[in-house]
Structure formats: C-alpha cells, structure tokens
Structure 1
C-alpha cells in the first residue's frame, strides 16, 4: 500500500504545481503586454520647432504645458526641421511661417506619433486657424498604419527561438551549431524580405538591407536561446523566452513608439533583440538607414554573445563530461 501511495502523491503534487503555474504565467504575460499598452502617452518625445524666435517661443511654451511630454529641439527653418526628421532625430516638427503653422510628420517612423502630434498641434492652434500637415516620410502604401511591421516582431522572435531550441535539441555543438544558427537566420531574412517587401509592400527600402536586418534579428534571438540553454541547461529555455519573446515584444514599442511607453520600459525594449530589430528595420526601410547604427550594434552584441556562449559552452561541457570507466577484464576461465 505505501508503495502505491507514493507515486499517487507525487502525481498530485505535479498536478497542483501545473494548476498554480499556468494561471501565474498567464497573469504575467497579460500584465507585461497590457500594462504598457494601457499607459501609452508621450514621454520626452523628441519634436522640433522652427520659425521666427518670437513665434517659435510661443509654440514651445504651449507644448511645454504638457509637462514631460515633449523634448523640444529648435531649428532655424523648415528645411533644417525636415532634415532632422529624415535623420530620425525628431518624430516631427512645428514650423511657424507668416502664412500660418505647418506640422511636419513622419508616419513611417510611427503612425501613432504622427496622429498624436496632429491632434496636439491642432488643439493649440487659434480658433479658426488652419494647420497644414505635411508627411515628410510617409508610411508605405502597403502598410499605412504600421500594422504589418508591428506584427512581424513576434513571428521573428518565434523563428529565432525555434532555431536556437532546435540547434540544442539536435545535439549540435561548436562550429556545427554556429553554422546552423547563421544559416537558418540568413534564410529567414531572405524569406522575410520576400514576404514583407516583394509581396506585401510593407517595406520599401533596400531589399538586401531589409533581409540583412531581418536575418540579424533572427540570429540574435536564436543564438541567445542556444547560448543560454548551453550555459544554464533547462532554465535557459525560460530565460530566453522571457527576454526575447515576452519582454522583448511587449517592450519593443513597435506598435506605437518607445517614447510612448512607461518610463524606462521603452529604453529597455531597445536593448532587447525584438525592439532593436524593429527600430533598425524601420530605419533601413523608410529612412535610408538613418539612426540604424545603435540598433544594429545591439543586435550584433546579442548575436556575438550568443554564438560565443554556444560554441565555448559546448566545448566546456564536453571537457567536464565524466570519462566512462573501462569495463573490468573478464575473469580467467578455469
């Protein structure tokens, strides 16, 4: 009887653990994704103001009433403001001219921010005054609301995670593991560019640059997974999923902008592969690569660290593996 009771008790504990763990994970996932979305608001959002000093000062004072919302950059004229938008220094600019107020936006950088600026500037304009809106860098016709670009991050994260997990579970080590991760990422980048650019028209920049960013994003995620699992074992699966799928996507800011997320969340998201990959993809797709250097550096660091951990960790584990003792010699017969 006791022998039969022990397995039953162990099974009961495992069942209880699952019943507690699943709701906890569900609550955590919902919180991570829903909390930033419920707190969308501008926080030190960089925008420009251009025009005669007196008029520009008045605009800056009006915008300053939204405490902590905007980070104001001053420019001499509309041309300088346009250049700053194209370089991704600011999301938009208010230009004061003798003929009235003009708002310069970049819906390719964030359709949500472009709409927010339009509402804010129109609301503070004098009654009856018309605000001319010019979209300096327009979103692609195939993705006017940025929905395709925002939705592409989760599939990229899943593909990267799958490549890392498969590399580990298949027992690939050292150079073989590195070659597999790099090759899978390169192919994923080519397929992604073919779908998002050639088919859907959601990306409109250099095809090869887009494929490179997509591939590097997958490589950063896949190598991070493989490296963490190689070094930590089973806990590496959970840590990799938390960083690249859960937090990485929720904090990326791709559906809005990093500066619209709660303080610190958007900045953290840009240090994780999905957020860095999304920002780099926006830069090469619509802004001729402007401001892509930082995100590409983040992706490269993740990829380099993951590949190094995968290669060296596998070598260390082989060195630490116990050497099987030789079988005892058979006893002499007779």
Structure 2
C-alpha cells in the first residue's frame, strides 16, 4: 500500500502540464450558443459589407486630363478643367495636358484614368482605360454625356487600355486573386484546426516552410490556368506566378500567426479580414474611385485588393503600379511570421516554466 501510494504521488507530481480546452471550461450548450452567434455575426457582416460596397457606386475624384487641340481659343483647356472640378459631388479630378500623346502616356503610367480631348470641330474625344476599372470608364462616359449635352457638343470614346478578349469587364484578375486568397487562409485554418498551433520553434519553422511551398505551387498553378489553360492572360506566367505565391503566402501565414496568438478565433478573424472586408474592397470591375470612401481606403491594404491590383498592373500596365501591392503582401507576411515565432516562443517558455 505504501509503495502504491508513493507511486501515485510520483505520478501526480510528474504529470506534464496540460492546457485546458474550451470544452473543459464551457458546457456544450454554451459553446453551441457562441458558435451560432459568431456565425450569425459573420453572415450579417458579409451581407452588410458587400451591399454597402456595391449597392450604389458613385464616381469620386476620378483623375483625368483635359487636352485642348490646336485651333481653340487660348485658355480653353484650363477653363474646362476648372468647370469639371466644380461639378457637384466632385466626380472627377481634372488637370490639363499639353497634347493627346501626353494624356495617353499619363494613362499608361497610371497617373490618370481618362482624358477629355476638346476639338475645334465640336466632336470631342473621351479616352478611357477599361483595364483600370470598367466601372470608372463607364462613369466617365456618363459624366461627359451630361457635360457635352449642356454645351451642345458630342464626343466619341476611345479605349486606350482595353481588357483582354477573355477577360470580361476585367473580372478575371479579381477572381484569380480571390482564389489565391481562399487557398491561403483555408490551408492555414485546416492546419490550425486539425494539427493545432506549433508547440516549438522548430515546428513553427516547418509550418512556415509548408505554407511557403504550398504558396509557390498554388501561385504557379493559378497563373498557369489563366495564362495557358484558359488563355485569359497569355504571356504573363512568371510574374503572375510570383504574385500568386506572394498573395497565398501572405494570407496563409498571417492566418497562421493569428492562430498562434488568439487560438481558434483566428478562423473567424481571417474570414472577417479577407472575406467580409477584403473581397468587396478589392473592387473587381469597380475601381477604387467608384467605391465608398471606407472601402476605397482599405482595399489596397488587404490581400484580395493587393492581388487584384497586382494582376491589373502586370497584365495591362507592364508592371506600373505593382509596387504598392508588393508592400501590402510583405507587411502581412512579416506580421504573420513574427506572430507565429513570437507566440510560439512565448508559449514554449510558459510550458517549460509550468512543467
């Protein structure tokens, strides 16, 4: 009996420290209520966010240039520019350009989204760039239809940077980016739910390596589908593969970092960031200048928007404008890695101290 008591005491004192799970702290009823309420809030947030972003696109500060052709009175270009900037609601932000060539260069350099060329014949030209956002181009047509009607003039439209034949309204890049994003956070969520957060720095390193490998493969395959299988973005396999790898890794590793820091709440948080807020603010066919101000401000700083803008820059503008999406992806990747390693090291120290 004494030997058994001694062994029992030894077993009790040497049993390793075990963290309690939610099922140990709360009843099944409480957990069910929390899950139902959490899913309901995400669902309502999804509906509210998407409808708020897309229910009433309104042009705002669309950058354009005004060109006055030879044969018009001096100063007419500046006069029209000033009048355009005084339109109620400020739908455009107009500036003057010396000639049509300069205006086209500004469009391709992504400094403006359109140009209005005033002709002495009375038939003006509106230069648009559907690849920069078809809704913005459509909005410009609506604005200048009213302007020219008031001045008893007419205009023709010339699309300087059209979307590809197989890229309806420029949406293919948006959906490609969403596919990359979904793959990133789904893999991170699956690892977190089925395997759990890493318990050691070595295990954290393995998780990071797995996500990096998956990002490289899925980024390449997504680009391959759109460039070769579907022929949507022919000729851009390598840069799109690199962009895709960045989008997948940044999204996935940030979700893993959340998992290491806040536990199972990482999944709804990732959905909130990347789906509820990220997808509508990415815009799709809508440029940031026709989205509500809140979505226009956050869109470029969330990975769906960064991916969409990156695809647009690579495919239609020879890489012009891709720098900002890269900065966004780097921020998410660095934060994710830092959270993973920092939280894993902290938990390892706490476990060792409690043992």
Q: TM-score over 0.5 for the alignment?
A: yes
**Contact 1:204 1:286 survives alignment (8 Å):** no
Question: What secondary structure does 1:202 align onto?
Answer: coil
Alignment counterpart, residue 113 of structure 1, candidates 114, 136, 141 = 136
Q: Does 1:274 align with 2:304?
A: yes
Alignment counterpart, residue 263 of structure 1, candidates 279, 293, 296 = 293
**Contact 1:205 1:288 survives alignment (8 Å):** no
Aligned-pair Cα RMSD in Å: 2.3
- Give the Cα separation in 2 of the matches to 1:231 and 1:296: 25
Gaps of 5+ in 2: 1-25
- The superposition leaves residues 288-323 of structure 1 with CA deviations (integer Å, 9 ceiling, x where unpaired) of 000111111111111122123223332332232146
**Contact 2:216 2:242 survives alignment (8 Å):** yes
Pick closer, same or farther for the CA change 1:15–1:300 going to 2, 3 Å: closer
- Give the Cα separation in 2 of the matches to 1:18 and 1:324: 31
* Aligned twin of 1:104: 127
* Aligned twin of 1:74: 96
Tell me which stretches of 4 or more aligned residues in structure 1 moved more than 6 Å. none
* Aligned twin of 2:78: 57
Pick closer, same or farther for the CA change 1:11–1:302 going to 2, 3 Å: closer
- Give the Cα separation in 2 of the matches to 1:263 and 1:198: 37
* Aligned twin of 1:332: none
- Range moving further from structure 2, 46-55 or 290-299: 46-55
Alignment counterpart, residue 239 of structure 1, candidates 269, 287, 290 = 269
Question: What secondary structure does 2:267 align onto?
Answer: helix
Alignment counterpart, residue 241 of structure 2, candidates 204, 208, 211 = 211
- Normalised TM-score (structure 1): 0.86
- The superposition leaves residues 91-113 of structure 1 with CA deviations (integer Å, 9 ceiling, x where unpaired) of 11112233431111111111111
Alignment counterpart, residue 116 of structure 2, candidates 90, 94, 98 = 94
Q: Does 1:154 align with 2:171?
A: no
Aligned pairs, how many? 317
Q: Which has the higher helix share?
A: 2
- Give the Cα separation in 1 of the matches to 2:219 and 2:39: 34
- Range moving further from structure 2, 36-45 or 204-213: 204-213
Shift of residue 74, structure 1, vs aligned partner: 2.1
- The superposition leaves residues 244-284 of structure 1 with CA deviations (integer Å, 9 ceiling, x where unpaired) of 22211121122301121111321111111111111111101
Question: What secondary structure does 2:95 align onto?
Answer: strand
- The superposition leaves residues 143-193 of structure 1 with CA deviations (integer Å, 9 ceiling, x where unpaired) of 131232233333222101022223434355322111111111111111111
- Give the Cα separation in 1 of the matches to 2:36 and 2:251: 30
Shift of residue 13, structure 1, vs aligned partner: 5.0
Pick closer, same or farther for the CA change 1:10–1:34 going to 2, 3 Å: same
Shift of residue 140, structure 1, vs aligned partner: 0.6
Question: What secondary structure does 1:108 align onto?
Answer: helix
Gaps of 5+ in 1: 1-8, 326-334
* Aligned twin of 2:19: none
- The superposition leaves residues 234-253 of structure 1 with CA deviations (integer Å, 9 ceiling, x where unpaired) of 22222222112221112112
- Range moving further from structure 2, 36-45 or 148-157: 148-157
- Range moving further from structure 2, 218-227 or 144-153: 144-153
Pick closer, same or farther for the CA change 1:14–1:165 going to 2, 3 Å: closer
- Give the Cα separation in 2 of the matches to 1:11 and 1:305: 34
